[in-house]
Structure 1
């Protein structure tokens, strides 16, 4: 069966052919075609741009704050596990922040396939340890991947599936542009180019790829379609 993308592309080709046989939309004034202003789209684009700018500034502030904290942090330790092992054993681990001792000559073990949680009072150094691990200040072999999530997704109407798909910025941008041009006959050729690029990016399988990632993180199909604002803080 043809994909949704292929169906859209075929439909747009038909519309493009019809568009060449009929006069352009709008009315002529002084020899120039006047079309209806897209007020709603412009407002939406302005709002989205303002929101993106605010998020960008906040992200920059958080990154600067993390850099300052990292500069005031000191970590020492010895890798006791084999350098090629998938398990990580650190001995003699010590962690200080602004000269204050948070961990002293302790042991850290991270074994493949296990899930770990840190329990302790506020200010005891839980986040500081995770940050040190995330920045590889703790001696962790390079073949082990690390991703440290430093901030949560804000509560919103979006689903986890939508958030993961939006990480692919090029794909998201092309889909938004294709959606905008889908209502304009004058730019059908450009729309065809966008559909071709989306096919190259395998856009029809983007949702499946995102779902597979979330499944690996423990998200059930029902949770993947649940709104972010409805999740508990633990997620």
Structure 2
């Protein structure tokens, strides 16, 4: 399907990868993984032809149809939902639109018009042999949660998350031979992610997908492409299969490295002791040759670094955590929450789920008192000290100050060592702690906010989409930290591995202001839902 030969990419002095040789086969689904900044998105853009590599070649099998997930959610504002999806097959879209125009405005007595209509019919038949493109599009839109009454609405009427769903439908509709998908689960709710998994598992062509959703990678992928050491290594199996194999390789490398380092130290000591001794000069020269042959660099450890996230409350909470009594909230004329009552008990670790736009972030902002309810009361326990990770975390991190100064401004009483330790746990080393916060990437800003939350020592965490912009290693570390945390959690997330890691209570917001409050893990909740469905 795709042959990659000696592919290299370098920006100025930064080399992303070099001499990549790879064959992507039909029927295989590849998960492209690597640390943030390793070059995953750049590699995918090179494969799709959007970016030119520094050197190397890419070749495709003849007549291969390529599908690339669009990233510009605002590119089709004046299109209807159906037309935006149809645009995924540009040749069919152009033919259909020209046909519609000629039938409406053309002179049907004109021989040239009729000749052109005949040509367009041939194109439509080639691209849509069953003449069912409109039925396929309607089914696809409904599967993604868009009712039939919305299909002729304009794209500009949708929220960002729903616009992304249309881009997803657009790339899936033509059933391309090769799919390149960069973070397809971003902005998707759990139901849509599950639908996408099933759709991709039945895709007959080749898929290369970048995702930080471990459950998604495990469900979809048959192979893993690991971008590390500026090389691309292929593993058979899903993400968990790769993780086991990669961990074993790292352990072996560490043992071999330790052995070689010890041998290097012994050789250096011998050379230092005897190089000046004439009777030992020949042995010293021999040892120096051995030392020169030791290739320590070839045994470098992985470029990935795992953050060490620890949430430790400064104080234990009392018998009351949080009580919501008949909360209602409107944005203008749109009611988001209606007479919502909940009692959160000490020890509750809640995953708050529901479709996009249902009111999860509004709920978080209400309990954090960024918004005020139209009616009802939010009552916190007297001993609660809360910490809040907002959905727009990247927007709250700004300014010219250093990372260290930014954190210090939140609590002047904190020891310098505590601040630097919190930054170090989120992989900000000595020099990095002094750079300006405005120079940070999205993922780095999220890690900085997590440093702040660790430093605060709250006993009740409210986290709204904390995994956005984080890599797999950071998400795994966050799940471990929430599991071990001796406090309360309310976390909005569409990452099932994260939810599985910590949640002992599931609250789902549904349409028509229905709220399902389930005591138990997410797996138990899914079993409960399935039992209801088939009972």
Normalising TM by the smaller chain, what interval? 0.3 to 0.5
Larger RCO (alpha carbons 8 Å, 6+ apart): 1
Whichever structure has more helix as a proportion of its residues is: 1
- Higher share of residues assigned strand: 2
